[in-house]
Each structure stands twice: as structure tokens, then as C-alpha cells.
């Protein structure tokens, strides 16, 4: 049997699976969540039924993680475990495929600041996920801080589950940013309608948006009690005498997104500028591996969907299906990428954040590595290179394996180019030794 394996059931992965199936080629769609949707379309797990339907010919594996991708004759072998993460009985499968589509998405980026390890400090994505999937508000009085349009839907969903959003602090001045790339703004004109709707909703809830401001410290003994916000200059250095204290019990932080590159790196796809490099057919540098969605560049759900359609079609073609060239999706991708580039330049992360840290501020929360220790390794011992830095400081070696801290640690150590070194993880998701020891029959394509 020939089959396409799609990893990730967000907008890009679902579109890829649908496009492949539409050409009569079988698809296995693997996703770690219990329901379709991914981060953007996350569904309420308490409700029965599914908002999304998959065409026939798609075998959907929910609650499934791909923990390894290894080369196999003519393609790749994808190792999957299915079942809740804490279940002792997850079933293992090893799927061989000549056409692998990676749509693993992105997670939101946090920047460290004194007190960011207090309970009550959430990533914007986690706050959104709790609200969407379980109807839970992370706090009664919440500040949403960071940069980028994603802060608006997060604030909106927090209001909808009963939180009082005290303010949205946007570290950039987006109006100036957009003016610099008017072409990009026009390319994504539809997006502005979406953002305008959020603004209206937030207006109803009296949520003020403060530009050029950020949370630069969090206070509290056992959990968050208040945050210190400050005005920022253009480079994000705090402006003196502009500090302001907000009494809140939760803060949601989002500074853009970091692509989830582990599987792409494991498959040896070329990474350019922090994202998987793809051609017009969404093919990566590795034959038989396609990529779609946020791992190829942060551009939102609509762009991801079109990329998924192209990737799924190209994968079907590779397996011998006669396909129609998806011209419409390709046109949307071209304009979507222009919008994405404009988005990136309107909401950059500027270097002044490094000045928010103190020596005792944790840069890696899993391994509790303070900034001072990182400075000792880089300054005192002259350690460079991601691998040695990780081993010398343990930053990025904990449970999240550098997903939260990798980029920040790389930038603090002056190794910004090496940030994807944190994505080199042959075991891409935790797997129990007992599971690893089991014999898993290989499901070959023929």
C-alpha cells in the first residue's frame, strides 16, 4: 500500500491530508491532541462530536506522538506511539512512507524576566489552550503582554471565559512597523478584518491596548501577585521612571512564535533563517519530505491551509497520482508570504529584553539555570557552541528540551544563528524505556 504520512492536524496538516485523499491516495494523519484542530483551531475536549470532518481515505491517529523519524529504503520510517501521554499502555507503530508531510506548527515564545517562573505566569498559547479546550480562565485579573496580533485573540478568549483583562501590553509600535511594508499589509488585507473584529470585541470589554510597553518583572511570594510594566524605547530598553505596578493574578506572555522543528531537523531538512526551507511545491531539501504551515514561516492559519493543500497534492503526485496543479492555493501562498514577511518586520523581538534580566533570573526553568550561570559559562569559561553550552550549564536539557528557552539562551550567549541547534533531538518526544525495548512490527509501503 502506498501512503502519505502527515504529522500535525492543524490547518496545514488537515489541508494536506484532504488534498492527498482527494487524489485517491491513502493518508495517515498523526496528531498529539485528542481532537483535530492543532493550536489555532483547538477544540473543547469536554464537548462530544467534532467540528472538523475528514474525507474517507484518511486514517486519523489522535493522541499520537511521532517520537522518531529515521531513514528507510526509498523514504522514511515514522515511529508513533498512540495513547494518553501518562498511559502505561500506548500502542507503538512504525509506518514507512515515501511521502512525509510535516505540519508540526509552532509554539509561542516567552522571554524571561525576573519572576517569570512564578505560578500565574503563562504563555499566551497555554492561556488560550486552557480557555478553548476546557473553558478555564488562567486568572481573575489578567494582563496579556508581548508582541504581535496573536495577543488579541488570546485576550478575547480570556474575556469570553470570564477573566478581566486589565490591559494588553504591545512591546512594538505596530503602526510604524506596517507603514514600512505597505505592500505586505495590502497582501494580507483580509487579516485586518479579523483583527478589527477582535478590537471591537475587546472594546466591549474595555480592554486598553498600551503600545511600546512590556511586563519586565513579576512579584509574588508563592504565586503571582503583581507585575511591573514599563514603557520601552525602540530597542525595548525600559524607559526610566515609567514603571507601573498592576495587581493581577495571572499574566499571559507571547513574543511571537518558534517553529517546532525537531522532526524536520531529524529528517535532515535544510533550515534557513530558523524555518524549514521549501520550494513552490512545499518540498524540503530532502526527497520525499514536504513541509507546510508555521514550520516554514509564521503566517497564520489561512496561509498554512493553502500550503497544506499544495504539500498534500505534491505528496500524492510523488506517489504516482495524477494531480491538478493547485494554482489557486499557490497564488494565495505567494501573497500570504508577503503578508507574513511584513508581519515579521512589524513585530520583531528587539534586543533590549536582555536588559530585563538579573543574575538570579532563571533562563531555563526546567533545569533552574540562572542568567548568572550562563554568563559564567560564556564569559568566564569562554564556552561557545550550543552543544557544549547546554552541557556546561544544563540550559535546555530539561523536560521541555529547550523548547521554551532555546532561542533565548542562544541569543543571550551570542549564538543567535545556532538557535536551531536546540532542535537536534533524535528522540523527538519522550518515550518510555519499556516502549523503546518492545518489538514494533514495521508497516512497510509494499
Partner 1 sequence: MGGIESADVVVIGAGIIGAACAEALSAAGVRVLVLDRAAPAGATTASGEGNVLLSDKQPGPELELAKASRRRWPQLLDEVRELIGPDLAEVEWDPKGGLVVATGADEMGPLAALTAAQRAAGVEVEDLDAGQAREMEPHLTDQLAAVAHYPDDAQVQPVLATAALLAAVRARGGEVHGGVRADGLVTGRSGEVVGVRTGSDAIPCGAVVNACGPWAGHFSETIGAPIDVLPRRGVVLVTAPMPPFVRRKVYAADYVDAVASAEADLQSSAVVESTRSGTVLIGSSRQRVAFDDDLDVEVLRGLARGAIRLFPGLAAVPVMRAYGGFRPYTPDRLPVIGADARVPGLWHATGHEGAGVGLAAATGLLLADLYTGREPVVDPGPFRVDRPEVALEAGS
Q: Is 90 in the site for partner 1 (CB under 8 A)?
A: no
Site string for partner 1, 59-88 (x = CB under 8 A): ---------xxxx-----x-x--------x
Q: Rounded distance, CA 144 to CA 125, Å?
A: 11
Q: Is 266 in the site for partner 1 (CB under 8 A)?
A: yes
DSSP state of 293: G
Q: Is 286 in the site for partner 1 (CB under 8 A)?
A: no
Q: How many residues line the site for partner 1 (CB under 8 A)?
A: 39
- HSE at residue 256, side-chain half, CA atoms within 13 A, is 19
Residues in CB range of 316: below 8 A, 6 or more apart: 4, 19, 20, 23, 24, 25, 99, 323
Question: Which span (3-11, 53-61, 176-184, 434-442) binds partner 1, by CB under 8 A?
Answer: 434-442
Residues in CB range of 85: below 8 A, 6 or more apart: 65, 430
Q: How is residue 255 written as a grid cell?
A: 513574543
Q: Is 432 in the site for partner 1 (CB under 8 A)?
A: yes
Q: Which of 220, 436, 443, 444 binds partner 1 (CB under 8 A)?
A: 436
Nearer to partner 1, 169 or 383 (CB): 383
Q: Whole-number minimum distance, CB 404 to partner 1, in Å?
A: 14
Q: Is 195 in the site for partner 1 (CB under 8 A)?
A: no
DSSP state of 376: I
Q: Is 416 in the site for partner 1 (CB under 8 A)?
A: no
**H or E element at residue 176:** helix 174-180
Q: Rounded distance, CA 238 to CA 47, Å?
A: 44
Q: Rounded distance, CA 202 to CA 195, Å?
A: 10
Q: Rounded distance, CA 419 to CA 433, Å?
A: 29
Q: Which of 431, 443, 444, 445 binds partner 1 (CB under 8 A)?
A: 431
Q: Which of 397, 411, 444, 445 binds partner 1 (CB under 8 A)?
A: 397
CA 382 to chain centroid: 32
Site string for partner 1, 12-51 (x = CB under 8 A): ----------------------------------------
Q: Which of 57, 59, 425, 443 binds partner 1 (CB under 8 A)?
A: 425
Nearer to partner 1, 12 or 377 (CB): 377
Q: Rounded distance, CA 314 to CA 287, Å?
A: 12
Q: Is 403 in the site for partner 1 (CB under 8 A)?
A: no
Q: Whole-number minimum distance, CB 405 to partner 1, in Å?
A: 15
**CA-CA-CA-CA torsion for 127, 164, 230, 234, nearest 10 degrees?**
60
CA 224 to chain centroid: 25
Nearer to partner 1, 26 or 435 (CB): 435
Q: Whole-number minimum distance, CB 384 to partner 1, in Å?
A: 4
Question: Which span (181-189, 277-285, 295-303, 423-431) binds partner 1, by CB under 8 A?
Answer: 423-431
Q: Whole-number minimum distance, CB 272 to partner 1, in Å?
A: 20
Q: Rounded distance, CA 18 to CA 313, Å?
A: 9
Angle of helix 151-160 relative to helix 124-134, nearest 10 degrees? Answer: 40
Q: What is the DSSP string of 94-121?
A: EEEESEEEE---EEE-----TTTTSTTE
Q: Is 381 in the site for partner 1 (CB under 8 A)?
A: yes
Q: Is 365 in the site for partner 1 (CB under 8 A)?
A: no
The binding site for partner 1 (CB under 8 A) comprises: 68-71, 77, 79, 88, 94, 266, 367, 376-377, 380-385, 387-388, 391-392, 394, 397-399, 401, 425-427, 430-434, 436-439
Amino acid at each position: 500500500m502506498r501512503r502519505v504520512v502527515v504529522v500535525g492536524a492543524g490547518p496545514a496538516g488537515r489541508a494536506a491530508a484532504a488534498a492527498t485523499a482527494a487524489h485517491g491516495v491513502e493518508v495517515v494523519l498523526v496528531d498529539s491532541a485528542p481532537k483535530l484542530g492543532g493550536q489555532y483551531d483547538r477544540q473543547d475536549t469536554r464537548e462530544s462530536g467534532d467540528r472538523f470532518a475528514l474525507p474517507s481515505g484518511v486514517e486519523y491517529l489522535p493522541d499520537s506522538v511521532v517520537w522518531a523519524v529515521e531513514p528507510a529504503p526509498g523514504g522514511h520510517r515514522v515511529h508513533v506511539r498512540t495513547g494518553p501521554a501518562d498511559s502505561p499502555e500506548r500502542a507503538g507503530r512504525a509506518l514507512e512512507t515515501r511521502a512525509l508531510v510535516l505540519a508540526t506548527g509552532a509554539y509561542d515564545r516567552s522571554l524571561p524576566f525576573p519572576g517569570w517562573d512564578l505560578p500565574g505566569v503563562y504563555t499566551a498559547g497555554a492561556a488560550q489552550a486552557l480557555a478553548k479546550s476546557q473553558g478555564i480562565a488562567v486568572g481573575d485579573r489578567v494582563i496579556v503582554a508581548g508582541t504581535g496580533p496573536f495577543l488579541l485573540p488570546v485576550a478575547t478568549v480570556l474575556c469570553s471565559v470570564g477573566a478581566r483583562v486589565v490591559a494588553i501590553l504591545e512591546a512594538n509600535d505596530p503602526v510604524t512597523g506596517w507603514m514600512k511594508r505597505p505592500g505586505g499589509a495590502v497582501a494580507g488585507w483580509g487579516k485586518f478584518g479579523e483583527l478589527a473584529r477582535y478590537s471591537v470585541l475587546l472594546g466591549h470589554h474595555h480592554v486598553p491596548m498600551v503600545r511600546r510597553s512590556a511586563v519586565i518583572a513579576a512579584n509574588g511570594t508563592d504565586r503571582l501577585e503583581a507585575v511591573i510594566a514599563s514603557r520601552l524605547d525602540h530597542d525595548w530598553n525600559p524607559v526610566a521612571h515609567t514603571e507601573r505596578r498592576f495587581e493581577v493574578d495571572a499574566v499571559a506572555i507571547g513574543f511571537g512564535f518558534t517553529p517546532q522543528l525537531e522532526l524536520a531537523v531529524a529528517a535532515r531538512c535544510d533550515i534557513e533563517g530558523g524555518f524549514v526551507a521549501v520550494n513552490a511545491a512545499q518540498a524540503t531539501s530532502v526527497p520525499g519530505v514536504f513541509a507546510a504551515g508555521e514550520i516554514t514561516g509564521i503566517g497564520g492559519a489561512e496561509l498554512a491551509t493553502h500550503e497544506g493543500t499544495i504539500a498534500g497534492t505534491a505528496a500524492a503526485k510523488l506517489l504516482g497520482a495524477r494531480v491538478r496543479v493547485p494554482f489557486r492555493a499557490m497564488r494565495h501562498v505567494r501573497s500570504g508570504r508577503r503578508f507574513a514577511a511584513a508581519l515579521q518586520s512589524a513585530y520583531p523581538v528587539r534586543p533590549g529584553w536582555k536588559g530585563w534580566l538579573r543574575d538570579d533570573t532563571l533562563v531555563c526553568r526546567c533545569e533552574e539555570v540562572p542568567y548568572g550561570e550562563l554568563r559564567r559559562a560564556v564569559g568566564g569559561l569562554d564556552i561557545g557552541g550550543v552543544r557544549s553550552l547546554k552541557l556546561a550549564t544544563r540550559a535546555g536539557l530539561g523536560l521541555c528540551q529547550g523548547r521554551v528557552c532555546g532561542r533565548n539562551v542562544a541569543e543571550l550567549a551570542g549564538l543567535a544563528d545556532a538557535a536551531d541547534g536546540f532542535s537536534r533531538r533524535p528522540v523527538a518526544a519522550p518515550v518510555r524505556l519499556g516502549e523503546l525495548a518492545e518489538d514494533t512490527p514495521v508497516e512497510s509501503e509494499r
